[in-house]
Amino acid sequence: MRPIPSVSQRSPAASARSQASTPVAQQHRQRQQQRQQQPPLLRRRAAGAPPAAAAEAAAAAAAAVEHGSTVLPWLPAFALLALSWQGPRLASAAADFLKPRKCRTCWGAGYTLCDACGARGKRGGAFEGGPLVPCPACAGRGRLQCTACNATGLANSWLWKPSNDPGWGARGE
């Protein structure tokens, strides 16, 4: 197998072209040199901690190291970076967690259907061979208060109180 000839061995014109400096090549080299001399472009800051907070965190880390704390010096900076990176996501998750959510047991109604009477409110009758009597479990109503949400209809009822007007519209008074 023959070796591939180099550019200078192929033709005299090709070697002259490769060694000659064309105006386009000169402009290209100049642009590359200018780019290397310029400082790198800074990205726009994403939502996160302001520069003052970063300076305070750095000062706190330096003070902790001076006082003989066992906290690693890079830990506060890492925590600040993580919070600034995940801050909007954490805020959104906290807002979703604090919204009033319907109870999954009663679907926000505050009561469940009585299993003893099949939500009829009465027991007995022709199928059981006796008279119809009010259900002792639900007192003839056919429904029981939901124990999962304490009859509020909200899964996070520890945060939201029941509304005074439970009709249509916004919750509250």
Domain with 116 in it: 112-145
Residue 78 domain flag:
no
Residue 143: CB atoms within 10 Å: 17
- Summarised one tens digit per residue, pLDDT across range 102-148 is 888 888 888 899 998 888 888 887 777 778 889 989 998 999 998 88
Helices (runs of H) and strands (runs of E) counted in the chain: 5, 4
What does pLDDT average to over the chain? 72
Residue of 145, 51, 149 whose CA lies nearest to 100: 149
Sign for the CA dihedral angle at 134, 139, 141, 144 comes to: negative
C-alpha to C-alpha distance for 26 and 72, rounded to whole angstroms: 52
Residue 53 domain flag:
no
Residue 152 domain flag:
no
Distance of alpha carbon 156 from the chain centroid? 20
Q: Report the number of distinct structural domains present in the chain.
A: 1
Q: Which burial class, exposed, middle or buried, applies to 138 when counting CB atoms under 10 A from its CB (0-12, 13-18, 19+)?
A: buried
Residue 131 domain flag:
yes
Residue 160 domain flag:
no
- Per the CB < 8 A criterion, the answer to whether 8 and 15 are in contact is yes
Between 25 and 105, the more confident residue is 105
pLDDT at residue 39 tops 60: yes
The region that residue 150 occupies, defined by phi over 0 for left and psi between -120 and 50 for alpha, beta otherwise, is left
